[in-house]
Structure 1
């Protein structure tokens, strides 16, 4: 089902409308964190991409797009029309095609991609295991999924604090207590590499089906 055909009462629509409302100021709001850390972590993630066919899910305003090698063919999706509008206002490399699409319902055949990339996406996907399972479906045998994700911390007292704060934070933004490593494994992936890049809250992950 196309994302635009969903019932307006679904959790997916609630999240999508939130990103639509915040799209115009998204780059400004996230600029401090990008400058402090995220820019270099994005670069490290994209450097691991194998091609030629690459899917980026949750492309947002297109921060990763200038980082891809020109020999790659990039299909980049997001379920927020307004976020995609912001991405299209930037110079789009010739090897990139943007799509309005939901990661939980990817419109690509099985085995379509050599790599799939997601940066800070699965904190917001309503059904993360379903979205991750779709990524596994569209990866070719031997392909890799590459993630830069913030997760529930491992320190017990901090994890409890994140659990307590999550209902408040997630009303206006992403979930902060997602057990994303567990979700990646539940979707059928084997983890090749898990690197803590900001304590154990922000991780670089490589996995294969």
Structure 2
């Protein structure tokens, strides 16, 4: 089953599935990450639009997702927000010109994109030289015990939901040619991290 089919299928229950983490951690992280943004922002993998309420009103936000059914839920969250546009688009092949966004953002998305390095390379391309790429993600831990569990369960999560819980996201960012300027460990040792990079 393709990643599009999987996310189309889960679109109705996606928010419900993440409710516990949203209440305990995700909402707090989203508020912190988005509060200081300004200018033109691209959110890659906007999904059901959970980040939309956290963007400052003076941002111009463009959200893309490969699943039209996920976007149908995001459109409800974006209703009445004149600064937000939503488009069906593949993160690995974006239809934007070079150097056109002040910020490019993902939250818990790089785990499910089939080729994350290609997507990150595209993010670098569309981000202005003075801009920032911000990735709030979960990834493979450097802790051997946690990484063992992630590797053990990854075939199951990847098969059912399309989510890879053992992605080497820091290495993928490096492979894409992005220059890390900040890396913060947020939870579960270093599974959840906030990474800011420059093109």
Q: TM-score, normalised by structure 2?
A: 0.95
Which string of whole-angstrom CA distances, capped at 9 and with x for unpartnered residues, describes residues 115-167 of structure 1?
Answer: 01100000000000000000000011111001110000111122122112111
| 1:1-209 matches, cutoff 5 A | 14-49=2-37, 51-92=38-79, 93-173=81-161, 174-198=163-187, 199-209=189-199
CA RMSD of aligned residues (A): 1.1
What SS does the corresponding residue of 1:105 show, helix, strand or coil? coil
Contact (CA 8 Å) 1:45, 1:147: kept in 2 or not? no
What SS does the corresponding residue of 1:177 show, helix, strand or coil? coil
Report the Cα offset of residue 86 of structure 1: 1.0
What SS does the corresponding residue of 1:194 show, helix, strand or coil? strand
Contact (CA 8 Å) 1:116, 1:135: kept in 2 or not? yes
**Quick one: distance in 1 between partners of 2:122 and 2:16?**
31
Write out the 4+ residue segments of structure 1 that deviate beyond 6 Å after TM superposition.
none
Gaps of 5+ in 2: none
Question: Number of matched residues?
Answer: 196
What SS does the corresponding residue of 2:11 show, helix, strand or coil? helix
